[in-house]
Copies of this chain bind each other. A is one copy, B any other.
Amino acid sequence: HETSLEFAPSVARAAVLKESSSLPEDMPQIKGYDFNQGVDHRALLQSFLTTGFQASSFGQAVQEINKMIEKRLEPVQEEQESCDSHSSASGCTIFLGYTSNLISSGVRESIRYLAQHRMVDVIVTTAGGIEEDFIKCLAPTYLGEFSLKGKELRQQGINRIGNLLVPNDNYCKFEDWLMPILDQMVLEQKTEGTHWTPSKMIHRLGKEINNPDSVYYWAYKNDIPVFSPALTDGSLGDMIYFHSYKNPGLVLDIVEDIRRLNSKAVFAKSTGMIILGGGLVKHHIANANLMRNGADFAVFVNTGQEFDGSDSGARPDEAISWGKIRMDASPVKVYADASIVFPLLVAETFAHNAARLIKEKNSD
């Protein structure tokens, strides 16, 4: 570089042309997918790891979830199983959390697949994340637009969730379905002393809906506990409120559920957290994992940011400070709308693995 050295301001040249130390040899180089090799979607998704930015985070999330799946399939010693009734038979207890809107969206079908095939062990969601699943068994949700006017929609009785539309009649159908079940629940409480908790109520509703499209039908069938401590915060709460005037007395206790949820974490061999969105579902799963001094694996998918100090937007590294994720873990956050990212994650992890297992079985 001597030629221009003498002419240019030397401080500028020194700053701009500072020499660099060499990087480790095994450091991955950035390289995207080459479409000259045709459209091979799987190769494309695998190339994300070296594409950078959130594509790389996606690739790392695939690896992290596949570690959970592998660990989950590890044989658990019989001895351990027998001596402790709390103990999970799974090598890795996977906690899946998601916000209500994802059940309203078509991500529901990915979640239902996981519940149907018992690929996750514990579910945490909000009230809407419960009721919208049942309501969709009664009537459809539609694709609209983010910019539709609230006033016009209200006049027509159409509720908007982002770019989704839910006719209010769907909630009327939900009431028709739910009221007799609430009657029955009150009866059982009074006559059999049933101590209702949100998770028990969700289990019961999953049984009652008796529909293979439902996430909670499968959670019921496969005995996957579903936690939703603020179960009254939504249409379920509206109906419970109305019902309380007609047939009062129902009690929904949240103490028994926190004990049950925490036990799932405490007595697990290892745990993984897959959390879509923020708010209660993110905090509740992470807090339960503090009870075991941290989850072993973690994948967060959300659009939140840390700058406002919210738990929703916090990076996984904040959870490490609290002991909610292990200090030696390699948690991944993907900054993205889960509607795009979660189906792709399931494709490259749970579903891919299932397809592989079937193939191996068939070839035996």
Contact = CB atoms under 8 A, between A and B. Distances in A.
Interface centre among A47, A48, A105, A243 (most CB of B within 10 A): A105
Nearest to A313: B303
B252 A293 contact: no
A291 B9 contact: yes
B51 A339 contact: yes
Contacts of A309: 52-53, 101, 104-105, 161-164, 337, 339
Contacts of A350: 35
A100 interface: yes
Contacts of A21: 156-158, 167
A342 to B, nearest CB: 9
A83 interface: no
A138 interface: no
Nearest to A260: B241
Contact of A19 (B44, B168, B322): B168
A81 B136 CA distance: 43
Number of copies: 4
Interface string A312-325: 11101111111101
Given A12-B291, A39-B347, A310 B158 contact: no
8 contacts: A12-B291, A21-B167, A39-B352, A44-B343, A51-B343, A54-B337, A104-B309, A150-B317
A3 interface: yes
A175 B1 contact: yes
Contacts of A22: 167
Nearest to A36: B113
Contact of A335 (B154, B304, B307): B307
Given A160-B321, A169-B20, A104 B30 contact: yes
A57 B304 CA distance: 19
Sort chain A's interface into a size bin: 35 or more
Given A56-B163, A306-B162, A308-B303, A322 B126 contact: no
A233 to B, nearest CB: 5
A252 to B, nearest CB: 5
Contacts of A8: 241-242, 245-246
A100 B57 CA distance: 20
Contact of A33 (B104, B109, B195, B240): B109
A225 to B, nearest CB: 15
Interface in A153-208: 153-165, 167-169, 171-172, 175-176, 179, 195, 198
Interface string A1-40: 1011001110111111111111100011111111110110
